[in-house]
Amino acid sequence: MPAIVIVGAQWGDEGKGKITDMLAEGVDVVVRYQGGANAGHTMVVDGTSYIVHMIPSGILYDDKICIIGDDVVVNPKILISEIDKMEARGISTKNLRISCNAHMVMPYHMELDRLEEELKGKHKIGTTGRGIGPTYVDKAGRLGIRVVDLFDKDEFIGRLGHTLKYKNLILREIFKHKGYEVEDIAGEYLEYGKRLAPYVADTSMIISQALREEKFVLLEGAQGTLLDVTHGTYPYVTSSHPISGGACIGAGIGPCKIDRVLGITKAYTTRVGEGPFPTELMDDTGEHLRKKGGEFGTTTGRPRRCGWLDAVLLRYSVRINSMSALAMTKLDVLDELPVIRICTGYQVGDEIIREFTTDIRKLRESTPVYEELPGWQTDTSKITDFRDFPDETKSYIRRVEELIHAPIAIISVGPDRQQTVLFRKFV
Ligand code: IMP
C-alpha cells in the first residue's frame, strides 16, 4: 500500500483539509508533517463543520492513527483545547500520537512573533502571530524545547532556564519587555506534559511499522508550496517546509517510501499576509471570489487576497513537489463569472517570463499575461460526475492540465464530502 503526500500547491488554504479528510476514509495512518497552529483545516461532514489547527484531519474517523509528526511545532495549550473540544463532540482522540521530537511553541515565541512583526514595520511578513517563526528559529539555533523534554522535570527546567537567558536579553534589551522567569512557564508546561503523555510516541517508528505492514499512509502538509522557507516567495513565507520533500523530515521516513504526491489547488488563487501575488485582483471580481469563496482566514479571520489561477506558479509547484496529480477545489466559486482568466506568463519590462521565479522583485513588477476562457454560468455545486459539467467547465479543467503539465484527478465543488468529482484515477 502506498504512502501519499498531500501538499498545498499555492500559498496555503487550498482546501487540503477536505481532500485529506475524504481520502482518509481509505487510509490507515494520517500524518501532519510540519507547521503548527498557524494552519487551520475546515472539514464539513453532513453539514457539521469541524475546524482544527493542530490535529490531523483523519481524526473524524475513529479507526485511523493520526500523527503530529517530528517537524511540527506544537502549541500544547491549543492542542489540548482541540483534544477537549473533539472529545466533547463525541470524537475520540485515542488514536492521536504526538512525536516526542516535535518542538514546542513557548509563550516567549508568541510574544517575539508579535514584537518582531511590529519592529519590521512596512517589511512585516503578516504572520499568523502563532509564534511559528521564533519556534523554528530556536529549533535551528539549538535552543528549542521538545515535547520529550516535558517528561523529565529537571531537564525541562534546565533547558528552559538556559534558553531564557538568551530570550530575556533580546526581550529586555531590544523590546523593553519584562521577559520571563522559569517559574512563569514551567508549572504550566509540566501540567501540559501530564495531559499529553498518553499521546506522545516515537512516531517515525509507528509510520515505518505501518509501511512494513503494507498499510496506507497519508502525509499531510500544512500551508503551501509558495510559503516554503526555501522554495517559496522568501522572505514572505512561513518557517517550515510545506513541500513534499518536507514530508520525509516530518514523518521520519526516507524519500523511497513515498509513492505519490497529490497537490491541492483552488480553481483560483488566494494569499494571506504580505508578499507578491501577480494575479491579485483589486476589483469587483476579487471581491466576488472573496465573498462567494468565504475567503477569510480560518486561524486569524483576516480577509484573503484573491486573484485568477496562476498556471505559471502551479507548474513550478508541480516541479518542486514532483506532483503526480492535483485536486482542484472550490471550482463552484467561479460558477457565476462570464469570463475566466488563467495566467500563462508574466510581463516584466519588455520580457515575458513563462517560468516562475522566486525573485520577489521580478514578481512585484510583473504584469500577468492572461488567456481568457468563457465562463459556464451554471451551478456546478451538485455535480458528482465529470461528464455532467458544462463544456466550458471541462475546457477550463483540461486547459489547466495542459498548462501545468499534470493531471487534475479530483475536483471539489463545495465543502461537503459528497461535493466531489473523481475525474481521474489517482491511487
Ligand atoms: P507564520 O507561518 O505565522 O509565520 O506566517 C508566515 C506567512 O505564512 C504569513 O504570510 C501567513 O499569512 C502565512 N501562513 C501561515 N500559515 C498559513 C496557512 O495555514 N494558510 C495560509 N497562509 C498561511
125: Cβ below 6 Å to ligand 1? yes
The residue behind cell 508541480 is 318
Would you say residue 314 has pLDDT above 70?
yes
> Cα 255 from chain centroid?
20
d(CA 122, CA 235): 13
Give the span between the Cα atoms of 183 and 172, in whole angstroms: 18
How many angstroms separate the alpha carbon of residue 399 from the centre of ligand 1? 30
Regarding the beta carbon of 21 and ligand 1, being less than 6 Å apart is answered: no
Predicted local confidence at residue 40, as pLDDT: 85
Ligand 1 lined by 412 (C-beta under 6 Å)? no
Quick one: pLDDT at residue 281? 98
Q: Judge if the beta carbon of residue 127 lies within 6 A of ligand 1.
A: yes
272 Cβ below 6 A of ligand 1: yes
Ligand 1, from 227, 240, 265, 280: best to mutate by most atoms within 8 Å of Cβ?
A: 227
Question: What local confidence, expressed as pLDDT, does residue 41 receive?
Answer: 81
Q: Could you tell me which of 82, 132, 134, 131 has the C-alpha nearest to residue 110?
A: 131
Give per-residue pLDDT as tens, 152-201: 999 999 999 999 999 999 999 999 999 999 999 999 999 999 999 999 99
The residue nearest atom 9 of ligand 1, judged by CA position, is 127
pLDDT at 417: 87
Ligand 1 near 126 CB (within 6 A):
yes
Q: pLDDT at position 425, please?
A: 83
Give mean pLDDT, residues 336-345: 98
Contact 382, 390 (CB under 8 A): no
State residue 24's pLDDT score: 85
Instruction: Provide the pLDDT confidence category of residue 91 given band limits of 50, 70 and 90.
Output: very high
Strands (E), 60-119: 65-74, 96-99, 103-104
Domains and CATH numbers, the chain: 3-99+199-261 (3.40.440.10), 104-195 (1.10.300.10), 266-314+330-403 (3.90.170.10)
pLDDT > 70 fraction of the chain, expressed in percent and rounded: 100
CA of 221 to the centre of ligand 1 (A): 13
Q: How confident is the model at residue 45 (pLDDT cuts 50, 70, 90)?
A: confident
Question: Across the chain, what does the average pLDDT equal?
Answer: 96
**CA-to-CA distance for 145 and 391, rounded, in angstroms?**
55
> For residue range 57-74, what is the model confidence (pLDDT) as tens digits?
889 888 999 999 999 999
Whether the predicted pLDDT of 100 surpasses 90: yes
Q: What is the pLDDT of residue 1?
A: 64
Q: How confident is the model at residue 301 (pLDDT cuts 50, 70, 90)?
A: confident
pLDDT of residue 57: 81
C-alpha to C-alpha distance for 12 and 7, rounded to whole angstroms: 9
Q: What does DSSP say about strands 41-45 and 48-52: parallel, antiparallel, or unpaired? A: antiparallel
Rounded Cα distance between 296 and 314, Å, is 22
pLDDT digits (tens, 9 = 90+) for 230-263: 999 999 999 999 999 999 999 999 999 999 999 9
Furthest-apart CA pair in the chain: how many Å? Answer: 67
Asked if residue 2 has its Cβ within 6 Å of ligand 1, the reply is no
Nearest to residue 328, comparing CAs of 341, 311, 346, 349? 311
Residue 396 contacts by C-beta under 8 Å, 6 or more apart in sequence?
267, 334, 340, 342, 373, 376
pLDDT value at residue 58: 85
- The pLDDT value given to residue 21: 83
How far are the Cα atoms of 48, 91, 101, 306, 410 from residue 419, in angstroms, in the given order? Answer: 14, 23, 38, 22, 11
Pocket test for ligand 1, best of 110, 124, 128 (most atoms within 8 A of CB): 128
> What cell was used for 2?
502506498
Residue 373 CA to residue 336 CA, distance in Å, equals 13
The type of residue at 44 is V
For the annotated catalytic residues, the residue numbers are: 13, 41
Read off the pLDDT of residues 16-40 as tens digits, 9 standing for 90 and up.
988 988 888 899 999 999 999 999 8
* 81-87 contact pairs (CB < 8 A, 24+): 82/52, 82/53, 82/54, 82/55, 83/55, 83/195, 83/199, 86/50, 86/52, 86/55, 86/59
Beta bridge partners of 269: 307
Reply yes or no on whether the pLDDT at 208 is more than 70.
yes
Distance of CA 348 from the midpoint of ligand 1 (Å): 27
Predicted local distance difference test score (pLDDT) of residue 79: 97
